[in-house]
């Protein structure tokens, strides 16, 4: 596995990462089970705790519902750099794309591709020298038809993530491909009613993709 023992690992992103997390973002005495939320981050934490208990990897969830890469940049110092993690995972871009479709008249809420690329690369360059490992995960739209306008745009944002992962020696997680493998056999609405917010099965698909990329499976 790529993660070394006693590592502090911060996951940051939007509602998919948030998944109802405790404000502390990790297990606490008053909320031991739901600290990291009910999504893929909690499943990654549970897998590591069950299969590698002696390695004592500390998982912290810094996902915030509704956020774009612009919002991440505004809280990067306090939520990522100040805690001095050993590893950081970034999965962002869904709302950057989605706002261009569900609120097309609200240009102030939309993050177009050039800004997305520049902002994400800035976060990566600020972070990479200070961590042992960085994970970059694509945004996704659980829609198998690649010609769908929102799917096509999401793929373009995902391509930026792939490029940055290669350029900055980051672990790359292709969440879209992970979902495509399953939607080849089932309708996307069985994984997410809005094709964005995953069911428990959808979160397990994400967790498996992350764990596989980290060499933990």
Q: Running DSSP on this structure, what letter comes out for residue 21?
A: -
Establish whether 167 is a catalytic residue.
no
Could you list the pLDDT tens digit for every one of the 217 residues in the chain? Answer: 999 999 999 999 999 999 999 988 997 777 766 799 999 999 999 999 999 999 999 999 999 999 999 999 999 999 999 999 999 999 999 999 999 999 999 999 999 999 999 999 999 999 999 999 999 999 999 999 999 999 999 999 999 999 999 999 999 999 999 999 999 999 999 999 999 999 999 999 999 999 999 999 9
Look over the chain and give the mean of its residue pLDDT values, rounded to a whole number: 96
- Angstrom distances, CA of residue 170 to CA of 37, 41, 121, 148: 25, 18, 12, 29
Catalytic residue among 102, 112, 130, 194: 194
pTM of this structure:
0.97
CATH of span 8-213: 3.40.50.1110
Catalytic residue among 7, 14, 15, 203: 15
Establish whether 194 is a catalytic residue.
yes
- Residues with Cβ < 8 Å from 8, sequence gap 6 or more? 58, 60, 83, 84, 85, 86, 87
Establish whether 197 is a catalytic residue.
yes
Cα–Cα dist 67/96, whole Å: 8
What is the reported pLDDT for 24?
87
* φ and ψ at residue 107, rounded to 5 degrees: -60, -25
Cα–Cα dist 50/85, whole Å: 22
């Amino acid at each position: 596995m790529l993660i070394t023992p006693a590592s502090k690992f911060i996951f940051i992103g939007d509602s998919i990462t948030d998944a109802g997390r405790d404000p502390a973002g990790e297990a606490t005495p008053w909320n031991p089970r739901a600290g990291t939320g009910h999504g893929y981050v909690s499943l990654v934490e549970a897998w590591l705790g069950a299969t590698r208990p002696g390695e004592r990897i500390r998982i912290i969830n810094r996902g915030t519902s509704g956020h774009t890469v612009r919002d991440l940049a505004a809280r990067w110092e306090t939520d990522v750099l100040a805690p001095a993690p050993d590893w950081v995972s970034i999965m962002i871009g869904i709302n950057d794309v989605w706002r261009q479709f569900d609120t097309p008249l609200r240009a102030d809420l939309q993050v177009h591709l050039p800004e997305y690329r520049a902002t994400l690369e800035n976060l990566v360059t600020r972070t990479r020298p200070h961590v042992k490992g960085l994970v970059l995960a694509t945004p996704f739209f659980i829609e198998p038809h690649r010609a769908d306008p929102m799917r096509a745009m999401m793929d373009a944002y995902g391509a930026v993530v792939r490029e940055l992962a290669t350029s900055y020696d980051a672990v790359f997680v292709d969440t879209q491909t992970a979902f495509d493998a399953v939607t080849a056999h089932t309708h996307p609405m069985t994984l997410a009613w809005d094709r964005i917010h995953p069911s428990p099965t959808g979160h397990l698909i994400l967790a498996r993709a992350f764990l596989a990329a980290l060499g933990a499976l």
